[in-house]
């Protein structure tokens, strides 16, 4: 067996075909290029390295390379190696895949400004983490999450959102979607079958809850938030966005907060609080989390998807003590643990307050964007979040007209449990576009709405 595999700088899986050694190697290389396993521009091993890997003479490999170069399959440049030539792929019988181009103007809700991702701070934190990391960091992780991040989250959430969180009550997840899915499974395993879900509400997350086995009952929302009188003894859980209701944009009124918590204490029900954009309130200090006034009956969920970016897949839940063990077990069964290095970098950003500085800068930037939108359209809800609602008629026709102009946003009716005879409107995201693209997107939107009458 060759003993020099570690010295070849390029690995290549290749099984020479039948016939002589040279012809078999030529055939195998030719077929690999033709079927796309070796893409155009791919660097091949050196003749010496491939000869050692395959147990052939270097002369055999050199002759095979030269022959395929003569046929146009390879290019050989002294000093820069041997690469696969740009050979047109063979015709495929598979159906053609049509890729949808991105919208010209993206005003879809719930999307942060990823152009402002704090690359410098993230890079500096990554360097600090790697420089001081124990080798065990690169091994298997903790299903509950790194203790460094849970400690940092307990401090941050208590300081900024009024959450009463101890590190042992926090579980780190791969985003809020996973957190909600795991919680739904845990509640189902504990016998809960019926739950209340805000109407209108986030239909994607409502689907996550339902796929976990929980039936969702509409919980009406008005200008004071969710209507708690709809909560009954037959419901085991209530899913709310109390700080900034999605999509109507209103906070849960203080009196209703007390009623919701009283319902949970009286019935043993659980309140699931989605604090998806709680940091972004523009007219005053953000409303504190509901969890802070009923810690034993509220599950608090959060994520960096709206503050840093959804690509990081980092979320968390603060749980009542009796739910921690089953939730951690569900997390372990789902994917063992969330990626470790990202947790440590986020913990560093929070501990050094670089995360606070980023959120404050984003809050100022989004406030200006919302004000620009509010100058042109009558918005519903309080000044907060990453999106705003405009109530109007002819929603379907307006969405179609926007799509024709390359403008992407979202309609209100699809977020109701039953869209019939419901208020209509457009949900407009103002965070994601670039600074140059945002004003133009607003121009296009206002041109489309020129014939409509916002209410």
Residues of the chain within CATH 1.10.10.10 domain(s) are 5-84
* CATH number 3.90.1150.10 is the correct assignment for the domain at 105-111+364-449: yes
Bridge partners (DSSP) listed for residue 217: 196
**So what's the pLDDT on residue 164?**
96
239 is written with which tokens?
A: 């899913």
Whether the pTM exceeds 0.85: the reply is yes
CA 126 – CA 62 distance, rounded (Å): 44
Residues of the chain within CATH 3.40.640.10 domain(s) are 117-355
**So what's the pLDDT on residue 80?**
83
Q: What are phi and psi of 218, to 5 degrees?
A: -60, 135
Nearest to 172 by CA among 13, 338, 414: 338
Show pLDDT as tens, one digit a residue, over the chain (455 residues).
444 444 456 888 888 877 789 999 999 999 999 988 999 999 999 999 899 889 899 999 999 999 999 999 999 998 888 999 987 766 666 666 677 788 999 999 999 999 999 999 999 999 999 999 999 999 999 999 999 999 999 999 999 999 999 999 999 999 999 999 999 999 999 999 999 999 999 999 999 999 999 999 999 999 999 999 999 999 999 999 999 999 999 999 999 999 999 999 999 999 999 999 999 999 988 889 999 999 999 999 999 999 999 999 999 999 999 999 999 999 999 999 999 999 999 999 999 999 999 999 999 999 999 999 999 999 999 999 999 999 999 999 999 999 999 999 999 999 999 877 789 999 999 999 999 999 999 999 999 998 755 44
Please state which architecture CATH assigns to domain 117-355.
Answer: 3-Layer(aba) Sandwich (3.40)
CA 53 – CA 59 distance, rounded (Å): 14
196 close to 215: Cβ distance less than 8 angstroms: no
Locus of tokens 């929302």: 221
- The four Cα atoms 289, 293, 295, 299 give a dihedral, to 10 degrees, of -40
**So what's the pLDDT on residue 90?**
63
**So what's the pLDDT on residue 4?**
47
Fold of domain 5-84 = Arc Repressor Mutant, subunit A (1.10.10)
**So what's the pLDDT on residue 431?**
96
């Amino acid at each position: 067996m060759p003993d020099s595999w570690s010295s070849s700088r390029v690995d290549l899986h290749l099984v020479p075909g039948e016939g002589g050694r040279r012809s078999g190697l030529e055939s195998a290389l030719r077929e690999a290029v033709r079927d796309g396993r070796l893409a155009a521009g791919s660097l091949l091993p050196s003749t010496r390295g491939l000869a050692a890997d395959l147990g052939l003479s270097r002369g055999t490999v050199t002759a095979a390379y030269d022959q395929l170069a003569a046929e146009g399959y390879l290019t050989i440049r002294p000093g820069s190696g041997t690469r696969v030539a740009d050979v047109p792929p063979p015709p495929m019988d598979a159906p053609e895949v049509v890729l949808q181009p991105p919208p010209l103007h993206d005003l879809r809700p719930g999307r942060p400004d990823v152009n402002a991702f704090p690359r410098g701070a993230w890079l500096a934190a990554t360097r600090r983490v790697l420089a001081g990391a124990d080798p065990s960091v690169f091994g298997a992780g903790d299903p509950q999450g790194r203790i460094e991040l849970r400690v940092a989250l307990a401090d941050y959430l208590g300081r900024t959102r009024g959450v009463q969180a101890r590190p042992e009550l926090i579980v780190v997840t791969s985003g809020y979607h996973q957190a909600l899915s795991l919680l739904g499974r845990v509640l189902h395993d504990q016998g809960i079958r019926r739950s209340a879900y805000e109407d209108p509400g986030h239909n994607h997350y409502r689907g996550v809850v339902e796929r976990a086995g929980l039936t969702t009952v509409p919980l009406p929302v008005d200008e004071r938030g969710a209507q708690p009188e709809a909560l009954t003894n037959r419901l085991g859980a209530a899913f709310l966005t109390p700080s900034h209701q999605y999509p109507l944009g209103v906070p849960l009124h203080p009196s209703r907060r007390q009623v919701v918590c009283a319902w949970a204490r009286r019935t043993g029900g659980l309140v699931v609080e989605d604090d998806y954009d709680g940091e972004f309130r523009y007219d005053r200090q953000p409303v504190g989390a509901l969890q802070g006034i009923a810690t034993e009956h509220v599950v608090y969920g959060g994520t960096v998807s709206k503050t840093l970016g959804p690509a990081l897949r980092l979320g968390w839940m603060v749980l009542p003590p009796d739910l921690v063990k089953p939730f951690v077990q569900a997390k372990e069964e789902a994917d063992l643990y969330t990626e470790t290095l990202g947790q440590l970098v986020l913990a560093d950003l929070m501990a050094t307050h670089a995360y606070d500085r980023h959120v404050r800068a984003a809050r100022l930037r989004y406030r200006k964007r919302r004000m620009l939108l509010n100058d042109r359209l009558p918005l519903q809800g309080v000044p907060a979040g990453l999106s705003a609602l405009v109530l109007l008629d002819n929603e379907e026709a307006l969405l179609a007209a926007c799509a024709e102009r390359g403008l992407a946003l979202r309609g209100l009716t699809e977020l109701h449990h039953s869209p019939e005879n419901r208020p209509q409107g457009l949900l407009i995201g103002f965070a994601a576009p670039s600074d140059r693209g945002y004003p133009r997107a607003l121009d296009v939107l206002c041109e489309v709405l020129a014939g409509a009458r916002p209410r």
